[in-house]
Amino acid sequence: MAQKTLLSVEGLELQYQTRRGVARAVDGVSFDILANEALVVLGESGCGKSSLAKALLRVLPRNVHRFSGKVMLGDTDIMALSEEAFRRDVQWTRIAMVMQAAMNALNPVVRVGEQVAEPLRVHMGWSRARAMERVARTFEQVGVSTDFLQRYPFELSGGMRQRVVLAMALVTEPELVILDEPTSALDVLTQAGIMNVLKRIKQEQGTSFMLITHDVATSSEIADRVALMYAGQVVEVADAQDFFHAPAHPYSQMLMASVPRLRQREEPAHIPGQPPDLIDLPSGCRFADRCPSRFGRCAEDPEPIRLARRHHVRCWLHAGRSGGGGA
């Protein structure tokens, strides 16, 4: 595999100012995505997945306290770009996103064909005719009949609406598509249909994906790589094969044991306890108080440890024999 690196993220931070204090939603996150690779970001509700996505696409709320780190898109240092340059050269054209619950945010009074054409017309300045032609092609790719171009959102089922917002992200043929929980609200057949579309587009167009979900089974439908987030940090990042079949972090292991298996008899186990408050983070390992393998050293903050090529884990259990032991 000699794929080029498309996106490289290093030490990304996004903090929100709130009345109670500063929430560290993305707290020193590093990973990369190769060309034509799909990275799945897993993690419990509130761990910072959507914040990570919004940071990459710079769609930020007003109460940002700190936004820093290094993000390279190909050879471009996109964190160094001005707002205007970022909007012109990156947003939608090179990185596009399907936001969480986007299918419910479609404009009810505008025909879906027009809505999907918007990125082409607004960001790329295309004529209406040229844009509609591309939209029709994208509809076919995502499995929506072109008869639907003229329909309004309420005339479509949930599954069709989700395909339409997917078309909106794909229509500019971006290099990276970020999908935030694209199928969580849909039933299993619709989910499987949409994952089929993503797989085909990845194969045919060489697009890279970052898919955010808390559903491990769905994630396995596209993942080449998996990053697991916990309390604002990536605690493990690995190839899908390693993550699903031999995860290294105790949290990853417990997460895998909590997946209900249709074809196996083992009862799924839940992970007791709650994640920490992002405004009042504990010192040391953030998972320690829920971790069955906790030991003295967990009072220190673990740095990412390299287990293999492109496999990193934030856990002292892997600090090598000499590093193991007591506090």
Partner 1 sequence: MSAVRSSAQARGRDGPLLAVQDLHTWFELRQWGFLRVGSVRAVDGVDFELARGEAVAFVGESGCGKSSLARTLLGLHKPTRGEVVFNGTRVADLRGKDMQWYRASVGYVQQDPYGALPPFMDVRRILSEPLIVHGISSRVERERRIRQVLDEVRLSPAETILDKFPHMLSGGQQQRVVIARALVLEPSMIIADEPVSMLDASVRVEILNLLRRIQTERELTLAFITHDLSTVRHFADRIFVMYAGRIVEQAPVDELLAHPQHPYTQSLLAAIADVDAANARQQREVPGGEPPSLLHPPPGCRFHPRCPHAIAGVCEVDDPPQFEPRRGHRSACWLHR
Ligand X SMILES: Nc1ncnc2c1ncn2[C@@H]1O[C@H](COP(=O)(O)OP(=O)(O)OP(=O)(O)O)[C@@H](O)[C@H]1O
Residue closer to partner 1 by CB (options 245, 321) is 245
24 touches 278 (CB < 8 A): yes
Q: Does 240 bind partner 1 (CB under 8 A)?
A: yes
Q: Closest CB to ligand X among 104 and 293?
A: 104
Taking the C-alpha atoms of residue 168 and residue 318, their distance in angstroms, rounded to an integer, is 43
Which of ligand X, partner 1, Mg ion, none does 239 bind, CB closer than 5 to 8 A by kind? partner 1
Contact partner, 25, from partner 1, Mg ion, ligand X, none, Cβ < 5-8 Å per class = ligand X
The residue whose two tokens read 């039933």 is 187
Tokens for 171, please give them. Answer: 């229509």
310, 238 Cβ separation under 8 angstroms: yes
Residue 261 binding partner 1, by CB under 8 A: yes
Residue 10 vs 44, nearer CB to Mg ion: 44
Asked whether position 274 contacts ligand X by CB under 6 A, the answer is no
112-124 vs 128-142: helix axis angle to the nearest 10? 120
50 binds ligand X (CB under 6 A): yes
The residue type of 8 is S
Q: How many CB atoms lie within 10 A of CB 245?
A: 9
Rounded to the nearest 5°, which phi and psi values hold at 256? -65, -35
Q: Is 164 in the site for partner 1 (CB under 8 A)?
A: no
Binding-site string for ligand X from residue 91 to residue 120, where x marks contact by CB under 6 A and - marks none:
---------x--------------------
Q: Report how far residue 73's alpha carbon sits from residue 149's, in angstroms, rounded to the nearest whole number.
A: 33
Q: Is 53 exposed, middle or buried (0-12, 13-18, 19+ CB in 10 A)?
A: buried
Strand, coil or helix: what is 115?
A: helix
Q: Is 16 in the site for ligand X (CB under 6 A)?
A: yes
260 binds partner 1 (CB under 8 A): yes
Binding mask 24-63 toward partner 1 (x if CB under 8 A, else -) reads: --------------x-----xx------------------
Which partner, Mg ion, partner 1, ligand X, none, binds residue 256 by CB below 5 to 8 Å per kind? partner 1
Q: How far apart are CA 238 and CA 235, in angstroms?
A: 10
Are the C-beta atoms of 310 and 239 separated by less than 8 Å? yes
Token pair listed for 309: 């090529």
Candidate residues 201, 255, 288, 291; the one interacting with partner 1 per rule CB under 8 A: 255
Task: Name the segment binding partner 1 (CB under 8 A); options: 99-107, 113-121, 239-247, 314-322.
Answer: 239-247
| DSSP symbols for 44-58 | -TTSSHHHHHHHHHT
For residue 32, is it left (φ>0), alpha (ψ between -120 and 50) or beta? beta
Answer for which of 214, 294, 310, 311 binds partner 1 (CB under 8 A) is 214
271 near partner 1 (CB under 8 A): yes
Which listed range, 16-24, 90-98, 144-152, 263-271, lies at the site for ligand X (CB under 6 A)?
Answer: 16-24
Q: With the C-alpha atoms ordered 65, 289, 249, 267, is the resulting torsion angle positive or negative?
A: negative
Residue 104: contacted member of partner 1, Mg ion, ligand X, none (CB under 5 to 8 Å, by partner type): none
Q: What residues line the site for partner 1 (CB under 8 A)?
A: 38, 44-45, 157-160, 186-193, 195-196, 199-200, 214-218, 220-224, 239-241, 244-245, 255-256, 258-265, 267-271, 274
